[in-house]
C-alpha cells in the first residue's frame, strides 16, 4: 500500500504549536499526541488513499492539551507544550525537515510579537469543542479564522 504525506503547515506560540494538515475530505482521521513529543497522524483521502506521518517534536507536550478540528479542506491541530517557551525548531532532529513540512506564515509571529498578536487565540476557542469526546471545554465557540483561503488554494494546487 502506498503511503503519502499531506502538506503540513506549522506555527508556534510560547505555549502551543499549531499544525494545519492540508487534506480535503479526510476520512478516518486519527491523531495521537504522546508526552515525549511524538505527534502521529493518519487518515484516508478522498479516493481512499492512506496518508500518515509521525513527528518527533522539539520538546515534550501535554497529550490532554492537544486539540483538533477536522474541516472540509484541512485538519487543524493545537498541541500544548509541556513547558512554556519558544522552540528553536519544530522537530527534535537537526536534519532538514521533510518537504511536506512548511511554516504557516498566516499564523506565524515572533517571540516579541506574541502579546500583541491574538489572531490564533480564536483558533484555540474553535479547536476546544472538538477534542474527540464532543465536550465543550471553552465558554467561547468563536471559530473566526479557522479557514485560511490562501492556504486552501496552495494546498489544492489551484
Tell me, what DSSP letter sits at residue 144?
A: T
Residue 122 CA to residue 83 CA, distance in Å, equals 22
pLDDT above 70 for 144? no
Task: Extract the C-alpha cell encoding 78.
Answer: 493545537
> Strand 3-4 and strand 74-80: pairing?
unpaired
Assess whether pLDDT exceeds 50 at residue 69.
yes
d(CA 136, CA 50): 30
**Contact (Cβ atoms closer than 8 angstroms) between residue 56 and residue 64:** no
- Residue 139 makes CB contacts below 8 A (sequence gap 6+) with none
Place of cell 504549536: 17
Handedness of CA 107, 112, 118, 120 (dihedral sign): positive
Q: Would you give the DSSP letter of residue 119? A: H
Residue 2 reports pLDDT greater than 70: no
pLDDT at position 149 over 60: no
- Give the pLDDT confidence score for residue 123 in this predicted structure: 52
To the nearest whole number, what is the mean pLDDT of the chain? 80
pLDDT tens for 93-140 read 999 989 999 999 998 887 777 765 555 554 555 554 444 433 333 334
Amino acid at each position: 500500500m502506498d503511503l503519502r504525506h499531506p502538506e503540513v503547515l506549522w506555527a508556534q506560540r510560547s505555549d502551543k504549536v499549531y499544525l494545519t494538515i492540508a487534506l480535503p475530505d479526510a476520512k478516518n482521521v486519527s491523531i495521537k499526541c504522546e508526552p515525549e513529543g511524538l505527534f502521529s497522524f493518519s487518515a484516508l483521502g478522498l479516493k481512499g488513499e492512506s496518508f500518515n506521518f509521525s513527528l518527533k517534536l522539539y520538546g515534550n507536550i501535554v497529550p490532554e492539551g492537544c486539540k483538533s478540528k477536522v474541516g472540509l479542506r484541512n485538519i487543524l491541530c493545537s498541541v500544548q507544550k509541556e513547558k512554556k517557551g519558544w522552540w528553536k525548531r519544530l522537530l527534535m532532529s537537526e536534519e532538514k525537515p521533510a518537504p511536506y513540512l512548511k511554516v504557516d506564515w498566516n499564523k506565524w509571529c515572533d517571540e516579541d510579537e506574541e502579546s500583541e498578536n491574538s489572531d490564533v487565540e480564536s483558533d484555540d476557542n474553535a479547536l476546544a469543542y472538538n477534542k474527540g469526546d464532543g465536550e465543550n471545554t471553552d465558554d467561547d465557540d468563536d471559530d473566526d479564522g479557522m479557514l485560511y483561503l490562501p492556504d486552501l488554494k496552495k494546498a489544492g494546487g489551484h
